Amino acid sequence: MPRIVADIGNSRLKWARLDDQGGLGPTVSLPLDDPKAWGAVYDGWHRSASDSSTWAVSSVNPPLAGRLAAFLAERKTAEIRWFLTAAEVPVPKDVEGADTGGSDRALAVLGASRLLGRGRPILVVSCGTAITVERLTAEGVWQGGAIAMGLGLCARALHHFTAQLPLVSPDRSAPSWGRSTNPSLEAGVFWGTVGAVRELIARQEPDLGPSLVVWTGGDAFRLAPAVEGPAARVVPDLVLQGLVHAAFPSKP
């Protein structure tokens, strides 16, 4: 029976199949509003399967979760296990409001904890629509973290809530300053975000101690080297890794 994990975010929908050893296979990134594209991947994965599949799904996007639930119901999926809040994720917690907190934050922490182990504090930097910096103690307890605006959201906000500022999509090649609007925007959006994340990381260490930092999310490859340099550790699919540990902890 195929086992599949899915991460429903605000900007993208990601699926991955588990291999025969229970590890995470290649990730497929799908559009949020194209069930035909979903169906093409689903049918390809089930073409040689004699049984229906079992799914584990994390969602921070309730409308899209409803559409995916209907899509899977039409295909008579054997079982779906939903992770809709941080409270449902099996990671030790010292946080408030876990029953309303995002499951993606807790799953990224679980994935990082299993990847890096205990014995030293860990900071998990997730770079998506929002940027989060999560604290994990040396004993493996998630203490919460910080939530900031992501690169794309910052750029879109400046574009949509002003009359004349264009939409930019800067990366590490952005200048430090600009003589005209576009490079000025690129400088502010990219390096302003880099500075914010660097400050958020630095502010954890006085009470948490020197920490391992792991990066994940769609913009991690753009931001991590700018903040930490080329040695930054980037793991693109920590939420999906966390889902594997949360929903399918035993290898076949």
Residue 103 known to bind ligand: yes
Residue 152 known to bind ligand: no
132-150 in b/e form (b: 16+ CB < 10 A) is bbbbbbeebbbbbbbebbb
Active site residue 104: yes
Residue 29 known to bind ligand: no
Residue 14 known to bind ligand: yes
Residue 171 known to bind ligand: no
Residue 7 known to bind ligand: yes
Residue 9 known to bind ligand: yes
Helices (H), the chain: 35-46, 62-74, 103-116, 151-160, 181-186, 192-202, 205-208, 220-228, 238-247
- For 251, the token pair is 């290898």
CA dihedral 205, 133, 175, 187 (to 10 degrees): -110
Tell me the sheet residues that pair with 93.
142
Which of 51, 104, 171, 237 is flagged as catalytic? 104
Cα separation, 96 vs 107, in Å, equals 16
Do the beta carbons of residue 3 and residue 16 sit within 8 Å? Answer: no
Residue 104 known to bind ligand: yes
> What pairing do the DSSP bridges indicate for beta strands 142-149 and 130-136?
antiparallel
Residue 181 known to bind ligand: yes
Residue 102 known to bind ligand: yes
Question: Which residues are known to be catalytic?
Answer: 104
Binding residues: 7-14, 102-105, 129, 181
Q: Please give the annotated binding residues for substrate, written as ranges.
A: 102-105, 181
Write out the binding residues for ATP: 7-14, 129
